[in-house]
Amino acid sequence: MSSTASARAELIDHLRERGITDERVLHAIAMVPREEFVPTAFKHRAYEDSALPIACGQTISQPYTVAIMTQALQAEPGMRVLEIGTGSGYQAAVLAMLGLKVFTIERHYDLLHAARQTLERIGCNVATHLGDGTVGWSAFAPYDRIVVTAGAPEIPSALLRQLAPDGRLVIPIGGREQQNMQVVVKIGDTNQYDVFDYGEYKFVPLIGRNAWERDDAAPQG
């Protein structure tokens, strides 16, 4: 086995030990070359279970976090899923590998451009959009699943509106530094939701009209 293949296999064992039980999710993670999504300087750390820096002061999420969010989505092949926060494109690739129709939005042009190239290179078919994901992507709504990979102060109402009946939204909610992962399940075709708390996580802030202000617009001092 090559060193990359054995590092990837070790990561999958580790995710299993940490409680990831959905075999389809583990398989999808095993199929995506994470080293393609991290900057050159960090390629040797691609299969560590840690978040790593990417361009624009952002991060590629920790594999465990990607696994738990993907598992929490409980998505079936063929479903339409909207991701807010493309970043490196890694989470989008894992979702595509699960057989989902993936739509992803990023606010930084440089990140989106690089993610597009990576996804294309590894043969992942994902629809990408440059913009503020807190307003969703109405052109392709509704979505069976929505996953937000940045921390929000509250649930953006536009995302609830773009959720299909019985849809699920996975989103970290809380402060700028720390959040609780929430799983929001739409009850049938109503405006009622069940909400489940999956515990504490640290995400970069979700910045936009229905979330936090830009970093450089925050008060100094």
Q: How many residues bind ligand SAH (CB under 6 A)?
A: 25
61 is catalytic: yes
Instruction: For ligand SAH, give the closer residue by CB, 6 or 117.
Output: 117
Angle formed by the axes of helices 63-73 and 3-17, to 10°?
60
**Least distance from C-beta 189 to ligand SAH, angstroms?**
27
Site string for ligand SAH, 78-97 (x = CB under 6 A): ------xx-xx-xx------
For residue 80, which phi and psi values (nearest 5 degrees)?
A: -95, 125
The reply to whether 60 sits near ligand SAH by the rule CB under 6 A is yes
Catalytic choice (2, 3, 6, 61): 61
Burial class (CB in 10 A: 0-12, 13-18, 19+), 139: exposed
Instruction: For ligand SAH, give the closer residue by CB, 53 or 165.
Output: 53
Q: In this chain, which stretch among 8-16, 105-113, 138-146, 174-182 interacts with ligand SAH, using CB under 6 A?
A: 105-113
Please give the sequence-ordered ranges of beta strands (E in DSSP) within the chain, or none if there are none.
Answer: 52-53, 59-60, 80-84, 101-106, 126-130, 143-148, 163-174, 179-186, 193-201
Other residues' Cβ atoms within 10 Å of the Cβ of residue 53: 13
Stated as kind and residue range, the H or E segment containing 97 is helix 90-97
- The two tokens of residue 93 are 């690739």
Site for ligand SAH, residues 3 to 42, rule: CB under 6 A: none
> Which spans of this chain sit near ligand SAH (rule: CB under 6 A)?
58-61, 84-85, 87-88, 90-91, 105-108, 111, 132-134, 149-150, 204, 206-208, 211
